[in-house]
Structures are given as structure tokens and as C-alpha cells.
Structure 1
């Protein structure tokens, strides 16, 4: 492992990264069961915003809309508060993943979604045609990253385990060391497509979350159909 890190270059990153998370295309109004009048919904929403303690303070509190706090929680804070095992983490700390392009996030998340469905036994329902109705809704955010990140891509040719499709012990050792030594994060090649992924261990280098688009994944017999606009095929991953 020491040889891997020796002379590892830095990537000075100052750009937006795409973050792809589970979400829904159309949010439900939480107050529509109290009244049929949209004006009453607005009053209830304003009351909630006036009395709710905020966990996010915008640098422009006068002009920013209150629901930007939700964007910050969903697009940035969530993985640091809800730890989970992944390629570079054994589940004992938080790590945030983003990508260079929206398309890269699709390849990554579709792979994991199909793995989840297979583990749940949905493939056994294919003869009955149930697979046609399986869908997942997602939301993609742009998040600003400003940090000097370790460029793991420079080692990909020497260490193929960096992009191994299913084995994570080697990469989890890398993530554990970077977390222990308080590095802000790293850049690495995607194992699912020709793309670049970013792993961030310090949320302070992330800022300015903005909604990019909504996506729908539909699992069919021919693969996963991805819709960016509702009911319109954007990508198909066989």
C-alpha cells in the first residue's frame, strides 16, 4: 500500500460535480389534506418555515429560498450522516460520491440498482412480465467542489483492482487510510464506463448544490431505459 501512495499526484479540482440520488419527480404537498385551497397551503408552509430550526445557514439568507436547505441536506450532507459500505468505504465513516458527467452517474447507479433488484429476487419474475413495471426515480444535483484531491487515476494501469467490477478490499483500504489521515478526497476512473468519479471525505470542500434534472429508470427485458424527460428515452443500458 505504501508503494501505491508514493509520488501520487494531486488534482486541483474547482468545478461542478454531478450527484445522483434516489428521489421522486413530483413532490407531494404535505398540507393538501388540511385544505382544498392552495392559498391555505402557502400559509401553512410559511408558518413551518418561520418556526422550524434550520440546520443550514446560507451565506445569502435574505435572497436564498428556504428550500435550498433541503438541497444541501440531500445533495451534500446525507452520506456523511448515513454511513454505508461502498467501493472505497467499509461503512465505518461517511463518503460522498460525485461524477464528471450526469451520464457517468447513470452508469454507476444503474449498476447498483440492478444488483439490488437481483438480490431481491425480481429476476425470477421475468417470465411473468413483471420486470416491465419496475421503475426507480432519481434526482441529479450539481455540487461545487474546491479541493486538492489525490489523483488515483494515475495508478489505474498498475493497480487494476482500482476498477475491479465486484471486489472492493483493495479500494476500501485506500479509503480507510485517506479518512484516517484526513485527506479531503480523491479522483478515480469509473469502473462502469469511460468516466471519472470523485470521492469526498470532507464535506467542507463541497458547496452550492443546485438541481440539474430528474431521471426515471425502467427495467425492461432489453435493459434499463433511462428517461430524462418523462416518457422519453434518453439512454438504454443493456
Structure 2
């Protein structure tokens, strides 16, 4: 069986400079960030205080009155996985990994899988009629990345749906070496994903669209009113 060092030694670097998509759990409707903590006449003071607590990697060229909302987008779309470590495909849970997708459909497949898996883990089954709201950000990514996409076709363990032993060992090596990230095939569909180990190579997050996921029969249906997209995924395909 191939190990992390062998696979990385055979992989090429690719200069990536483009837009990727981050799909997160969210309510469709947003609200003013200060609604619950200040009266309207005190918003200016609240915004000034907010400015002093901005994340270290966040930089804004917007007027201060707009920055709390821009900064909220940064926290939601970029900073969260670096501040809240958890075990995942390329992480042992001892370091943060940010996941993006090269297209909307790949992001839907990846997040629909985790939604169903969490439901089964917590309740023992997936439930007809269950609904989830998702927000999708477009994020600029510029970095030299390890490209595992060709190797994924030869080493099936790189896209194993359930066993992350090999991919976590690769993530651990890259994180320890200070590498910015990697490109890989999705484990849920034929799309491409990015696993990023530092927020410094990410910038300019913008809300792209919203999705509503719902379970109907044996399918997850992802519908987006913002761009008239509807994606149907067989649940057995996700959890097989």
C-alpha cells in the first residue's frame, strides 16, 4: 500500500490562481450583526469596537461602516475551520483544514454526504422531509498546491468514502511542512476539491448563492432559487 511520502514524492506542484466555492450551513435570511447587542444609534460605536477585534489575516479596503458585514463573511467562509479544528478527510483533528470545490455541484455532493452522515450518526437514520439551508461563497485562491488528481486514479485509497487513513497522513505531512494545500478528486463525485492549510492564500469571499437541501424519498434534492439550479442525488450513492 502506498504511503504519504511516496505519493507526495510522485506528485507535481500546480500554480493555482482562481475562484473556488465554499458551501456552509446557513440561514437564507441574514440580519444586521448588531441588532441584538445595540440600538441603531449605537451601531457606529459597535462597529469601531469590532474593528479592533478583526482576525489577524483579514484585511479590508471597505469603509469602516461596511466592514462588520465583510468581516462576518470572512469569518464564515474562511476563518472558521482554522479556529475550530476537527477530524476530516485530510486532518487528524490536530490542525485546521479549509475545504473548497471547483464547482457548485461538487460542493453540493460533498456537503450533502456530511449532512446525511451526521443525521445517521445522531438519529440512526435519515428522515423524510428533513430540510437544511446552505450558503455558498466564492473565494479567491492563489497558491502553489500539491496536485493529487492524477494519482487519485491510480491509488483508490485517496478517494475512499470512509477510510481516511492515507489522506490524513498526507494532510499531516503537508501541514507540518507548512505547505499551503492540495488539489484532489472528490470522494463523492467526479469533481475537484481543494484542501487548504492556511488562510493566507484565500481572499475576497463573496456570497454566490443559497441552496435548500431536502430529503424526498431516496434522494437529496438541492434547490437554489438564486440561480434556478436543482441537483438530485441518490442517498445510496452518498452513503454506500
Q: TM-score, normalised by structure 2?
A: 0.86
Equivalent positions of 1:175-186 (< 5 A) are 175-186=171-182
Assess if the C-alpha contact under 8 Å between 2:34 and 2:46 holds in 1.
Answer: no
Structure exhibiting the larger radius of gyration computed from Cα positions: 1
Q: Say which SS state the counterpart of residue 192 (structure 1) adopts.
A: coil
Distance of 1:95 and 1:30 partners within structure 2: 26
Distance of 1:120 and 1:210 partners within structure 2: 32
- Cα deviation for residue 47 of structure 1 reads 3.5
The yes-or-no answer on 1:187 pairing with 2:175 is: no
The yes-or-no answer on 1:174 pairing with 2:177 is: no
Count of residues paired in the alignment: 226
Residue aligning to 1:152:
148
Distance of 2:179 and 2:88 partners within structure 1: 18
Distance of 2:40 and 2:207 partners within structure 1: 22
Residue aligning to 1:55:
54
- Cα deviation for residue 214 of structure 1 reads 1.1
44, 47, 54: which is aligned to 1:46? 44
Assess if the C-alpha contact under 8 Å between 2:44 and 2:65 holds in 1.
Answer: no
Residue aligning to 1:164:
160
Distance of 2:111 and 2:41 partners within structure 1: 38
Distance of 1:142 and 1:30 partners within structure 2: 21
- Cα deviation for residue 7 of structure 1 reads 3.3
CA displacement, residues 108-162 of structure 1 (integer Å, 9 cap, x when unaligned) = 00011001111122637x5xxxx22x11111100111000000011211221100
Structure 1: give runs of 5+ residues left out of the alignment: 35-39
Structure 1 residues 7 and 33: alpha-carbon distance in aligned structure 2, compared to 1, 3 A threshold: closer
Residue aligning to 1:209:
205
Distance of 1:201 and 1:171 partners within structure 2: 14
Structure 1 residues 7 and 122: alpha-carbon distance in aligned structure 2, compared to 1, 3 A threshold: closer
The yes-or-no answer on 1:21 pairing with 2:19 is: no
85, 91, 95: which is aligned to 1:83? 85
Structure 1 residues 61 and 114: alpha-carbon distance in aligned structure 2, compared to 1, 3 A threshold: same
Q: TM-score, normalised by structure 1?
A: 0.87
Structure 2: give runs of 5+ residues left out of the alignment: 235-240
